[in-house]
């Protein structure tokens, strides 16, 4: 007896199921954006619609057309819906809908949720999903209310509410889409707007498992347990990256822009850019005007990105913490890698190392393909000189689902847009997820031979 397509779909590995879910939503979003009622003056091309839909679902924020002026209210609504679905995760949305209409959740869906939102096996994965939905909507509503209060004096009531809702969802989901042509540069000295957006970015970027654990830890209804090593690593690494990145950006840019009162103003800009270039993509300064050293700092922050189980991409903060602990253990000749008085499993260390190597390879390959396309005329950016840094910045921004750009995104041709689309998808779904899809699980095929040493270093 033949199995139905539905049964075949439910039997797919969670990694494949996640990829199919994202591709399906991207395809649907592309079709909706190509409708005449989605654009104002001219229809959007297929490649630009696909690029925009992918950027929204992968919560990246790279744009080839201006969101606020090119799309109608309907088109902007489609983008906002894609951002919300992409931020929460397609599997999360489907599980919530299934529970709402009273249908049971399949084992594959539970496994997909387990891989996405939990660092250890847990029985209450469905409760975690419900908590994620409520917390997300609650935080986004609070953010929208605060932004609306700041914008009531500048815009009419309904426009202020709409702008506040759009930017609150975009910020919490770390998407970086803005309805302002210059992004948030007009609010660079507005502590209220900048502070609200920055807070939403941080909360959305530390990951749902961390938010859930902190909520449980602070709740008086349950017995207080110690925070897990995952949560501690996320919080400490996030704090160090934000503060360290802000100090470096402020010091690197201050000598050029020194003027009365500038340092206090740029300190806010530096702090915001350190936060947003992790995965959010909002900007209060012109990225292309920064020094190369500042851009190198931002590339580093974008590469590592947000935390596991969050709305953001990159190789994740926990991977950086793990490799730092690994390097320290080797320098001090310790046999095990230890963090917060706990020993890390060897398999986790292997996965972290493989993740860094694969991510670096992907970034190098895509950057090369963009540069190769330029030499063959496949890219339409003006001038063939000194484009390595802008393309590298664009590639890392796409991989980390950040959305910051040095201004080359609208100028890219179909060849380079296709590579950036693929990079955004890999960055959002995850490198290890894609590696499974390409090479398979490999379980049961382990081989072991006689040992022989070799020289390294």
Whether the CB-CB separation of 85 and 29 falls below 8 Å is answered with no
Per-residue pLDDT of the chain (457 residues; tens, 9 = 90+): 455 554 555 555 666 777 888 888 999 999 999 999 999 988 999 999 999 999 999 888 899 999 989 999 999 999 999 998 888 765 565 555 545 545 555 555 555 555 555 555 455 556 667 777 888 889 999 999 999 999 998 899 999 999 999 999 999 988 889 999 888 888 888 889 999 999 999 998 888 788 878 877 776 555 556 788 888 999 999 999 999 999 999 888 876 655 544 445 677 888 899 999 888 889 888 888 888 899 999 999 999 988 887 777 888 888 999 999 998 888 888 888 888 888 888 888 888 888 899 999 999 999 999 988 876 666 555 555 578 889 999 999 999 989 888 888 888 888 889 999 999 998 888 777 777 666 655 554 567 787 777 877 6
Residue 457 CA to residue 451 CA, distance in Å, equals 19
Boundaries of every domain in the chain: 10-438
* DSSP assignments along 197-246, one per residue: HHHHHHHHHS-HHHHHHHHHHH-TTS---PPPHHHHHHHHHHHHHHHHHH
- Report yes or no: 202 and 246 within 8 Å, Cβ to Cβ: no
Task: Give the integer Cα–Cα distance in Å for 438 and 19.
Answer: 12
- Coil, strand or helix at 40: coil
| Entry pTM | 0.85
303 touches 313 (CB < 8 A): no
DSSP per residue over 303-356, as a string? Answer: HH-S-TTSS--SS-HHHHHHHHHHHHHHHTT-SS-EETTEEPPHHHHHHHHHHH
CA distances from residue 254 to 2, 257, 294, 403, 444 in whole angstroms, order as listed: 68, 5, 11, 24, 57
CB atoms closer than 10 angstroms to residue 300 = 16
Angle at 246 between CA 424 and CA 282, to 5 degrees: 40
How far is residue 242's CA from residue 275's CA, in Å, rounded to a whole number?
A: 6
Q: What is the pLDDT at residue 377? A: 60
Phi-psi region of 42 (alpha: psi -120 to 50; beta: other; left: phi over 0): beta
**Residues in Cβ contact with 58 at an 8 Å cutoff, skipping those fewer than 6 apart:** 22, 86, 313, 401, 424, 425, 427, 428
Helices 191-205 and 262-279, axial angle in degrees (round to 10): 30
Q: Which pLDDT value is given to residue 1?
A: 46
Query: Contact 114/121 with Cβ under 8 angstroms?
Result: yes
Interatomic CA distance for residues 401 and 359, integer angstroms: 13
Triad 305, 371, 422: Cα angle to 5°: 45
Are 329 and 336 within 8 A, CB to CB?
Answer: yes
Torsion-angle region of 354 (φ positive above 0: left; ψ -120 to 50: alpha; else: beta) = alpha
User: What's the pLDDT at 22?
Assistant: 85
pLDDT of residue 408: 87
Residue 45 CB coordination number (10 Å): 14
For residue 287, give every residue at least 6 positions away whose Cβ sits within 8 Å of its Cβ, in sequence order, or none. Answer: 295, 298, 393, 404, 405, 406, 407
Question: Which pLDDT belongs to residue 27?
Answer: 94
Sign for the CA dihedral angle at 57, 59, 64, 70 comes to: positive
Per-residue DSSP letter, 260:
T
b (16+ CB within 10 A) / e for 117-143: bbbeeeeebbebbebbbebbeebbebb
Q: What is the pLDDT of residue 306?
A: 83
Distance CA 19, CA 340 (A): 34
> What residues have CB less than 8 Å from 425, skipping those under 6 apart?
22, 23, 26, 54, 58
Q: Which residues of 258-274 are buried (b: 16+ CB within 10 A; e: fewer)?
A: eeeeeeeebebbbbbbb
- Specify whether the CB–CB gap between 125 and 14 falls below 8 A: no
Q: Give whole-number Cα distances, 430 to 94, 237, 437, in Å.
A: 19, 20, 11
Report the candidate in 297, 304, 338 with the shortest Cα–Cα distance to residue 318: 304
Is 384 buried (19+), middle (13-18) or exposed (0-12) by CB count in 10 A? exposed
């Amino acid at each position: 007896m033949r199995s139905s397509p539905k049964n075949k779909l439910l039997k797919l590995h969670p990694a494949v199921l996640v990829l199919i879910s994202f591709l399906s939503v991207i395809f649907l979003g592309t079709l909706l954006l190509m409708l005449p009622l989605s654009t104002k003056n001219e229809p959007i091309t297929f490649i630009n619609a696909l690029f925009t839909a992918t950027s929204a679902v992968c919560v990246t924020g790279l744009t080839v057309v201006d969101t606020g002026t090119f799309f109608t209210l309907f088109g902007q609504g489609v983008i906002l819906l894609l951002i919300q679905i992409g931020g929460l995760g397609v599997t999360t949305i489907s599980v919530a809908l299934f529970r709402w209409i009273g249908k049971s959740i399949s084992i594959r869906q539970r496994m997909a949720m387990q891989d996405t939102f939990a660092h250890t096996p847990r029985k209450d994965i469905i409760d975690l999903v419900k908590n994620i939905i409520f917390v997300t909507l609650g935080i986004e509503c609070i953010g929208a209310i605060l932004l609306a209060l700041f914008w009531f004096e500048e815009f009419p009531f309904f426009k202020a509410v709409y702008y506040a809702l759009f930017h609150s969802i975009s910020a919490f989901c770390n998407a970086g889409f803005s309805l302002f042509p210059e992004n948030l540069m007009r609010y660079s000295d507005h502590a209220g707007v900048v502070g609200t957006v920055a807070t939403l970015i941080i909360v959305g970027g530390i990951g749902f498992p961390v938010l859930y654990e902190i909520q449980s830890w602070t709740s008086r209804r349950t017995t207080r347990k110690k925070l897990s090593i995952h949560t501690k690593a996320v919080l400490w690494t996030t704090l160090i990256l934000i503060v360290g990145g802000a100090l470096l950006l402020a010091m690197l840019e201050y000598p050029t822009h020194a003027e009365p009162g500038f340092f206090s103003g740029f300190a806010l800009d530096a702090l915001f850019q350190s936060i947003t270039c992790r995965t959010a993509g909002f900007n209060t300064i012109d990225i292309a005007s920064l020094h190369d050293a500042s851009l190198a700092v931002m590339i580093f922050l974008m590469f590592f990105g947000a935390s596991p189980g969050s709305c953001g991409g990159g190789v994740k903060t926990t991977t950086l913490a793990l490799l730092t602990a690994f390097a320290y253990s080797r320098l001090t000749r310790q046999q095990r890698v230890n963090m917060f008085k706990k020993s890390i499993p060897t398999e986790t260390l292997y996965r972290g190392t493989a993740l860094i190597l694969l991510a670096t390879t992907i970034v190098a390959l895509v950057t090369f393909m963009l540069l190769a396309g330029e030499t063959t005329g496949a890219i339409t950016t003006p001038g063939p000189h000194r484009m390595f840094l802008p393309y590298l910045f664009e590639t890392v921004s796409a991989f980390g689902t950040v959305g910051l750009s040095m201004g080359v995104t609208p100028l890219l041709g179909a060849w380079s847009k296709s590579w950036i689309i693929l990079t955004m998808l890999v960055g959002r779904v995850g490198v290890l997820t894609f590696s499974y899809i390409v090479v398979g699980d490999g379980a049961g095929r382990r081989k072991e031979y006689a040992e022989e040493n070799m020289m390294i270093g």
